[in-house]
Amino acid sequence: MSDEHNIQYRAEPGGSLKGKARVPGDKSVSHRAIMLGALADGVTEIEGFLEGEDSLATLRAFRDMGVEISDPEAGRVVVKGVGLHGLKAPAKALDLGNSGTSMRLIAGLMSGQSFDTTLIGDASLSRRPMRRVSDPLSSMGAAIETGADGTPPLHIHGGRRLHGIDYDMPVASAQVKSSLLLAGLYAEGETRVREPAVTRDHTERMLDAFGYAVNRDGGWIGVTGGGRLRATGIRVPSDISSAAFFIVGASIAPGSDLVLESVGINPTRTGVVDIMRLMGARIDLQNERLEGGEPVADIHVTAAPLKGIDIPEYLVPLAIDEFPAIFVAAACAAGTTRLSGARELRVKESDRIQVMADGLQALGIDAEPTPDGMIIQGGRLEGGRVDSHGDHRIAMSFAMAALCANGEILIDDCKNVATSFPGFPELAGSLGLHLSVGAADG
């Protein structure tokens, strides 16, 4: 392929999803396992690590700071921790690729180091807002320079004395919360965060697993600096964000009967299940259990007629990454689906509101973008060509849309699917999606 950005998916119409499958490991948990394992005292063994580009970017960054980390083998990674104060200055800028999670969380950790660090990313990451972390970190005493418009690269000056703060977050964001809590490991006193709505709590759970006390009091979440992390074993559950494409696909494709095994069902992440059930989806959680401190289950999905709904705003932060797939479900549902309170979707890997609206309109669906959401009139999806704008979740969502379309869907710029879901075309094909990968024809 002359230009890997021209990787194109060709999804043939129809089909159904059947069988059993295990989607890749949870990206959010994989990031945090590497970070805290690197900063712990002792050796941490990780099972189920996501070998996608985003998680590997985090792994490489900590290798560049002197941490010995094994190459992943079938999801197993061994991290020889150096302790909270054992990182070394990297010889070059830390390149975090497409991973906003890596950049925002590592910015918090780097704020407490004795050395200077520069964080860079690809073209997409270089457009994403970073003042939401750099401003509160600066109020803790960090010295961070961003680009003129608050975007990467981030230049973080070391040797700063951090102090704990109380931060009432203006926007619900697990990345901002996590960045401040991780900086709080290096701060004098207690760092406390209060969020306007519940967001994913993987950082708090993993700090607990590594033996670092997390204070929870009246809506505030806090850590006190000066402690230590103790190495532990981490088993990464399958990623519900990756499972979401198949949950939607099996719901909209007649005749589907699918089981997704060992999926993380952390209650801060199950908004997609709740929303799909409100739309009429038949989703059954089986064999619920705890693995590595995270709740998991096997998710059984069978096809069902869906109806449009007004999506409850309290569920928005619990499904923020899954909305591209949910929009496809709405397009296949009877009636109108309305989403509001999701302005955060405009500053993801792409403007997911506008890009999904454009794609759905190209496929014959009445989809009206709003400043903080979308109004979708369910209908019959036509074939057509859409541009994912390099956004992995949009590419996979439109691939699933072909299951209820009456024509072929071509999806451009699919290279970044590997950031979160290596092997997606192969797994989807094995379950019944008629998907091929090739070079775009211009």
- H helices present in 256-365, as ranges: 271-278, 323-331, 352-362
Residue 170 has phi, psi (to 5 degrees) of -75, -25
Q: How far apart are CA 411 and CA 140, in angstroms?
A: 44
CA-wise closest residue to 389 among 1, 2, 98, 5:
5
Using the CB atoms, write b or e for 126-142: b if 16+ within 10 Å: ebbebebbbebbeebbb
Q: How far apart are CA 69 and CA 64, in angstroms?
A: 10
Residue 181 has phi, psi (to 5 degrees) of -65, -40
Q: Read off the DSSP letter of residue 403.
A: G
Helices and strands per DSSP (H, E), number in the chain? 12, 23
For residue 32 the two structure tokens come to 């945090």
CA-wise closest residue to 9 among 391, 355, 396:
396
* Active-site residue, selected from the candidate residues 321, 387, 412, 413: 321
> Cα separations (Å) of 156 from 104, 143, 152, 361, 407?
12, 6, 11, 43, 50
Q: How far apart are CA 36 and CA 83, in angstroms?
A: 9
CA-wise closest residue to 32 among 22, 42, 46:
46
Q: How far apart are CA 121 and CA 128, in angstroms?
A: 10
Annotated catalytic residue 217: no
Name residue, tokens 């506008």: 354
For residue 336 the two structure tokens come to 């109108």
If you count them, how many residues does the chain have?
A: 442
Q: Which residues are registered as beta bridge partners of 386?
A: 411
Q: How far apart are CA 69 and CA 75, in angstroms?
A: 13
Q: How far apart are CA 101 and CA 128, in angstroms?
A: 11
- 3-state SS of the chain: helix, strand, coil percent to 5? 35, 30, 40
For residue 118 the two structure tokens come to 């520069």
Q: Which residues are registered as beta bridge partners of 412?
A: 387
* Active-site residue list: 321
